Amino acid sequence: MARIDGRAGDQLRPIEIIPNINKFAEGSCLIRCGNTHVLCCASVEERTPPHVPEGEGWVTAEYSMLPRANRERSKRDISKLKLSPRSAEIQRLIGRALRACVDMAKLGERTITVDCDVLQGDGGTRTASVTGGFVALSCALHRLVQEGALAEMPLKTCVAAVSAGIVNDELLLDLCYEEDSAAQVDLNCVMTGEGELVELQGTGEGRAFTVAEQRALVDLCQKGIREIQAIQRAALEGER
């Protein structure tokens, strides 16, 4: 099947990560995955929520789409006086993914909030947010080390995410909007630098899918995530 943008089935969209794009945030990046663009900013507070054990830190995330990130204007969550269920579910996913890579004891009693704002959405906004969110988080932690607030980097590993799906019975990596909306099966995968799964979300939209198909989709995601992590490393090394 010929893809809408001419990519091979196992090929990522072009990815660009620009770190430290926001002059005020402790860590930030702009990530572009094809026509999906997300601004990620990490902010540090010297306090933690009540549920966090004494001596440990916390990492959390917030996610939103700007009104014209989509093909038609959407209302801001604040105008509805509550977070949309979709945004709430996605920001919980981002928070879980980022916490998986941080040693909270080494972080100490501080909170890092990673804001992921979708400037333009063309599929894969949650996976781009995880990938860019890690870069923003890493930049913030590196700054804390440089300033002497942390004795060592509290990162245990890196995390990145990508989507895959089955469209017209063909397995495809990194779905754009048109592919995602037509997918029979849609899967989002978050992995560490060691290839371990942090989160796997799979849904049969047009049909059920087999365990063998799920494994094939995860293998496809793992290939893509390895490539994404190389891009993350290059972006961060360029800032050191």
pLDDT in tens, 195-225: 999 999 999 987 999 999 999 999 999 999 9
Residue 141 has pLDDT above 90, yes or no: yes
Q: How would you label 68-96 residue by residue, b for 16+ Cβ within 10 Å and e otherwise? A: ebeeeeeeebeeeeebbeebeebbebbbb
**Bridge partner list, 58:** 111
Alpha-carbon span 201 to 14, nearest angstrom: 23
**Bridge partner list, 167:** 170
Q: Which long-range contacts (CB under 8 A, 24 or more apart) does 165-169 make?
A: 165/217, 166/209, 166/213, 166/217, 167/1, 168/1
pLDDT at 183: 95
Domains of the chain, by residue range, sit at: 15-72+83-237
Least confident of 84-93, 119-128, 190-199: 84-93
- The pLDDT of 108-122, averaged and rounded, is 97
CATH assignment of 15-72+83-237, given 1.20.1250.20, 3.30.230.70, 3.40.50.1000, 2.30.29.30? 3.30.230.70
pLDDT at 226: 98
Alpha-carbon span 134 to 141, nearest angstrom: 10
Residue 46 has pLDDT above 70, yes or no: yes
pLDDT at 72: 81
For the entire predicted model, the pTM comes to: 0.94
Q: Which residues contact 96 (CB under 8 A, 6 or more apart)?
A: 198, 199
